[in-house]
Amino acid sequence: MKFDLFSEYLSHMEGTSGRLELAKQLSSLLSELTPSETPPALYMVQGQLLPPFAGEPMGMASRLLLKAMDRALEKNEGGGGSPDLTALLAEAGDPGILAERLGMGREHGRLNLSEVYESLLQISRQSGSGSQEEKISRLASLFRAVSPLSSRYLARFVMGRLRLGVGDSTIVDALARTVLRTPPEDEKGWKAEMKSVRQKVEGAYNLCSDLGRVGEVLRRDGLEGLGSIRPSVGYPIRMALCERLGSGAEIIEKLGRAAVESKYDGFRCQIHCDGSHVRIFSRNLEETTGMFPELAREARRILGHRSAIFEGEALGYDGENDSYHPFQVTITRKRKHNILEKSEEIPLKCLVFDVLFLDGEPVMDRPFSERRRLLEGIFPVHRRTLSEREVPPDQVFGASRLIETDDPHTIDLFFDEVVEEGFEGIIAKRLDGVYTAGSRNFNWIKLKRSYKGALSDTVDLVLIGYYRGKGLRTRLGIGAVLGAVFDPVKGEYLSVARIGSGLTEEKWKELREMLDDLRVPDPPSVVRSGLVPDFWVFPKIVVTVLADELTRSPVHLAGREEGEEEGYALRFPRMVSGPRADKGPEEATTVDEIRRLFDLQRQRSLRE
């Protein structure tokens, strides 16, 4: 496919509102591509060069972009007389609009999608002496070889500002539609078949976290070919998630006899070992190997030549007091500079709680009880009391603390003991449950401190807009933010709270600067809100919020069903943390979780 035609599809998607229509547009594009063109197309519509775990960012500084534009104009005009692009960019307010207006593509129409993608990949990877000059030259050549419309998307892409609103769930829908393109007369049957196809596409994605790979296999080998995508070292598996319940009795009623573990508050790590190399992935599937050298080093020592994928929670360790640091301290280990110094100041201990792949074979579909036995055969188990750690001071890894019981009272006692130690709560696991990648179900159930109090749990909200500051906040340029929860079925972000407290002035300023980079003139197609903020932003930043209670609201849309006049809202919300680097927008609290928290709150109120 010619890149100029690809850009026309992007233009159609940019003008499309609603996730369903966006998926249809993307499906039409995918149906025109060859299998080998599918991965670069899918990566690029999401504004990235490779899957997040591959760590290949594109973002280019505006000054380099303007230099590339200037050079493309010089070539076109024979040199000299270039306009003041800095002033023109300030006037346009969008690098893409400016690039389109400049009309640099005198030679357009000759490059295809794959050629542009490979050039961008080379630009991203260019480093060392003279790399900036080479990047400018390569990008200028691209501008001269694409249409004005293509220049719009090329400029936005290299600055990390494409923002079409195409999320993972939209791509999964679009891929499913390439299999079942036209609804038959039996629409009900078609929908059921589409649901089945979508589950297979999503299931393959959950095992490799690479939509480009899934798309290429699907386009080349059809639906049956997706069976070739299996767990493998180096491809992070999308992490299993927990449901919530409010007491030990409810847990036993749901699971019967269960395994119950401490719930730690640190970095969730998925660690991949292939016998010689170790890679560590975060909750949102970004590679963090370089940040945690002690984990990589020790995992390599323990596993030796064995291949494995296992999960654990990494906590900052206080050697003087033989205790774990709170999350606010642990989070300071997430950094790109001065890593060794920080690792000596705050060493990590990793509590391993599951194994997904071992000695060349996936074990996700085996019962949890069997996976636990495999885990305990690798990592030391320390039966402990309150005064002892799961991991001795001279070791880095240990198995998570765990009990098995069918007694609600035993669960409640264990919960109280864990909370007394300063941890968040507990996670109960179905003994015969499989590891459900990328899914939230009752195989895993969490019970946290906040469920036992007067208020509900904290929630993770995606910011979709913000308001100008008033009064004392005028100088900050921000007075409140608009938060939303995620609906994974529809792929939409639904407003649930306007939040104006919880951060220091300095943190408010930092947040405003981050939001300014995400500002868009209109609400993104995947955003639905009953409130209109002063500024809309692309849904990317996740913050943790605490509130007094959940209420029904006529102005927010979270959980509002067709025909209803009220959704759910947070009463007296305040941020308890700034932007979460470990969570992407699709990992935010879901609409179903909000409903469940509301039910837990109501049940607690009735008991009282």
Catalytic (active-site) positions: 263
Give the whole-angstrom CA distance, residue 247 versus residue 249: 5
Category of 275 on φ-ψ map: left (φ > 0), alpha (ψ -120 to 50) or beta: left
In DSSP terms, 114 is beta-bridged to none
The torsion defined by the Cα of 6, 8, 9 and 15, in degrees rounded to 10, comes to 150
Spatial contact of 518 and 608, defined as CB atoms under 8 Å apart: no
Q: Structure tokens of 551?
A: 């209420």
Buried b (16+ CB within 10 A) or exposed e, 376-390: eebbeeeeeeeeebb
Q: Structure tokens of 573?
A: 């919300």
Which of 398, 421, 431 lies closest to 321, judged by CA? Answer: 421
Which of 62, 171, 47 lies closest to 120, judged by CA? Answer: 47
Q: From residue 18, give the alpha-carbon distance in Å to each of 202, 322, 520.
A: 20, 53, 16
Q: Structure tokens of 556?
A: 């927010």
Q: Structure tokens of 347?
A: 């060493």
Spatial contact of 201 and 172, defined as CB atoms under 8 Å apart: yes
Q: From residue 560, give the alpha-carbon distance in Å to each of 313, 495, 531, 568, 602.
A: 35, 10, 14, 7, 18
What percent helix, strand, coil does the chain show, rounded to 5? Answer: 45, 20, 35
Spatial contact of 315 and 346, defined as CB atoms under 8 Å apart: no
How many residues in total does the chain contain?
608
Q: Structure tokens of 493?
A: 């972000």
Give the whole-angstrom CA distance, residue 280 versus residue 295: 8
Give the whole-angstrom CA distance, residue 537 versus residue 484: 12
Helix axes 148-158, 95-102, angle to 10 degrees: 150
Give the whole-angstrom CA distance, residue 584 versus residue 48: 14
Q: Are strands 348-358 and 307-318 parallel, antiparallel or unpaired?
A: antiparallel
Q: Structure tokens of 332?
A: 């300071």
Give the whole-angstrom CA distance, residue 345 versus residue 341: 6
